[in-house]
Amino acid sequence: MKLFKCQSCHQVLYFENSVCVKCGHRLGYVPEIATLSALEPDGDLWRALTAPGGAYRFCANAAQKACNWLVEASSPDSFCLSCRHNRTIPDVTLPANLEAWQKIEIAKHRLFYSLLRLRLPMPTRVEDPAEGLAFDRILDPAQLDAAPVMTGHDNGLITISLAEADDAAREQRRVAMHEPYRTLLGHFRHETGHYFWDRLVRDRDQLDACRALFGDDRQDYAQALQTYYNNGAPADWQSRFVSAYATSHPWEDFAETWAHYLHIVDTLEIARAFGLSTHPTLTRGDELAAGVEFDPYRAPGMGPLIDAWLPLSLALNSLNRAMGLPDLYPFVLSPPAIDKLGFVHELVHAV
Ligand SMILES: [Zn+2]
Ligand SMILES: [Zn+2]
Ligand SMILES: [Zn+2]
């Protein structure tokens, strides 16, 4: 993620801000140039103070405080580049649903920030009715004493259970499933990994190369998941996989690796924006010295990303521990897991 500043008063801003707290300018995100812009009203429209300074409307979801992205005034779409992928949203006339949906949209917009920065192909359901990328946000019937809606992916359609926006419910699931990390953003990154496996591996003739690293995806998926839920991961999983869940099936391994690739690239970008670097005084020479001297979204290879990520994530974990918080990145990357990340890197940059 980039760091943004107000074009009117230079206040530093978060991606989610919709008003500048210092000068009061309305703010909107212009996805085409990946910039949060201060705005001046212009009749029914808004004029961006950033170059090239076009005329915009807000995405229709801004009315529910679920989106701060802009749509070009000349566009026939009422929704932004992120929200036009929504297929269903919950009944937001119920306050609890609205609050949950707003949290889900924050995560989804961060996901789309990354996917757009990587210039990945993602047609909507209008552009590709059979396989376009679409999202359903479903009220979890667990709250109605029925079987819970599972977060998941089915041929371009991603379902996110609304219950995952409830911190207590999500944390309960995280503990029950022995996961070190469970977030809405993590769900979005993981589930789009399944979507892009279809697009970039299956549809682009990368099956053999993918199977050589991740294993044969033709093994029965439902049975593999059942075996994982019954028996857990093999004892030595950390030597080959990014997470225990990645051991359940090659598709899950790919989706987990995909999510980690986005975790690493996006976190390194904000680290770079703050000029973060590490140079621990107790180490000899340049051991654990790192900075981000390149745009992580245009990294020349997986090597430079990993060289920056390992020392920086160690530092970030240490900062969190100093605050009594869980590790920011509670994972250990083994050489085979790094090779799989390298495959994702090549796949993304071949597009
Ligand atoms: Zn300002
Ligand atoms: Zn929107
Ligand atoms: Zn999955």
Q: Which ligand is nearest to the CA of 193?
A: 3
* Per-residue pLDDT reduced to its tens digit, 137-174: 776 554 444 455 667 788 888 998 899 999 999 999 99
- DSSP symbols for 277-299: -B--TTSSTTTT-B---S-GGG-
Ligand number, closest to the Cα atom of 81: 2
| Residue 170 belongs to a domain | yes
* Cα distance between residue 139 and residue 153, in whole Å: 16
Per-chain residues with Cβ under 5 A from ion ligand 2: 59, 61, 67, 69, 80, 83
- Coil, strand or helix: which one is 304? helix
Indicate whether 331 belongs to any domain: no
User: What's the predicted TM-score (pTM) here?
Assistant: 0.95
Considering the domain boundaries, does residue 189 fall inside one? yes
Domain assignment of residue 288, yes or no? no
DSSP code string of 20-72: -TTT--EEEEEGGGTEEEEEEEETTEEEESSTT--EEEE-GGGGGTS--BEEE
Choose the weakest-confidence range: 64-73, 275-284, 333-342: 275-284
DSSP 114-151: HHHHTT-----TTT-TTT--EEEEE--GGGGTSPPPPP
Residue 172 lies in a domain: yes
pLDDT of residue 142: 47
198-213 per-position pLDDT tens digit: 999 999 999 999 999 9
Is there a single domain that holds both residue 76 and residue 164?
A: no
Ligand 3 centroid distance, CA of 2 (Å): 28
Q: Which two structure tokens, joined as six digits, stand for 189?
A: 């990154």
pLDDT for 226 beyond 90: yes
Picking from 204, 221, 252, the residue at the C-terminal end of a domain is 204
Residue 54 CA, ligand 2 centroid: distance in Å = 18
- Residues 6 or more apart whose Cβ sits within 8 Å of residue 272: 291, 292, 295, 296
Report the separation in Å between the CA atom of 69 and the middle of ligand 2, taken as the mean of its atom positions.
5
| pLDDT score recorded for residue 146 | 47
Least Cα distance to 2 among 48, 23, 26, 33 occurs for: 33
In a shared domain, residues 11 and 63: yes
Whole-number Å distance, alpha carbon 191 to ligand 3 midpoint, is: 6
Residue type, 274: F
* The token pair that represents 179 in the structure block: 């996961």
Query: Is residue 268 in a domain?
Result: no
CA of 94 to the centre of ligand 3 (A): 29
Q: How far apart are CA 37 and CA 30, in angstroms?
A: 7
Question: Distance, CA 26 to ligand 1 centroid (Å)?
Answer: 8
Q: Which ligand is nearest to the CA of 159?
A: 3
Ligand closest to CA 224 = 3
Whether 100 and 196 share a structural domain: yes
d(CA 344, CA 351): 11
Distance 242 CA to ligand 3 centre (A): 13
* Distance from the alpha carbon of residue 55 to the mean position of ligand 1, in angstroms: 19
**What pLDDT is recorded for position 148?**
54
Helix (H) or strand (E) holding 5: strand 4-5
Give yes or no: residues 102 and 175 share one domain. yes
Token pair listed for 216: 């044969």
> Ligand 3 centroid vs 157 CA: distance in angstroms?
12
How many CB atoms lie under 10 A from the CB of residue 48?
23
| Closest ligand by atom to 6 CA | 1
Pairing of strands 152-154, 35-42: unpaired
Shortest-distance ligand to the CA of residue 189:
3
Q: What is the pLDDT of residues 9-43, one digit of tens each?
A: 999 999 999 999 999 999 999 999 999 999 999 99
Is 254 part of any domain? Answer: no
Same-domain check for residues 193 and 88: yes
Average pLDDT, the chain: 93
DSSP assignment of 182-216:
--HHHHHHHHHHHHHIIIIIITTT-HHHHHHHH--
Q: Is the dihedral of CA 108, 113, 118, 123 positive or negative?
A: positive
Could you tell me the residue range of the domain that residue 173 belongs to?
82-204
86 and 199 co-located in one domain? yes
Q: What pLDDT does residue 233 have?
A: 95
Distance 100 CA to ligand 1 centre (A): 29
Q: Long-range contacts made by residues 242-249, C-beta under 8 angstroms, separation at least 24?
A: 242/331, 242/333, 242/337, 242/340, 242/341, 243/179, 243/180, 243/331, 244/178, 244/179, 245/177, 245/179, 248/224, 249/217, 249/219, 249/221, 249/224, 249/225
Q: Give me ligand 2 centre to Cα 86, in Å.
A: 9
| CA–CA distance, 242 with 262 (Å, rounded to integer) | 13
Instruction: Mark which of 81, 115, 150 sits at the end of a domain.
Output: 81
Choose one of 27, 61, 81: the last residue of a domain: 81
Same domain, 66 and 113: no
Question: Please, are residues 154 and 125 in contact by the beta-carbon 8 Å criterion?
Answer: no
Task: Clarify whether residues 97 and 171 are in a common domain.
Answer: yes
- Yes or no: say if 29 and 70 are a contact pair by the CB < 8 Å rule: yes
Domain count within the chain:
2
**How many angstroms does the Cα of residue 35 sit away from the middle of ligand 2?**
15
**Letter string b/e over residues 208-228, b meaning 16 or more CB atoms within 10 A of that residue's CB:** eebeebbbebeeeeeebeeeb
35 and 133: one domain?
no
CA of 14 to the centre of ligand 1 (A): 12
**Does residue 330 form part of some domain?**
no
Same structural domain, 183 and 129:
yes
Do residues 75 and 100 share a domain?
no
Kindly state whether residues 39 and 58 are assigned to the same domain: yes
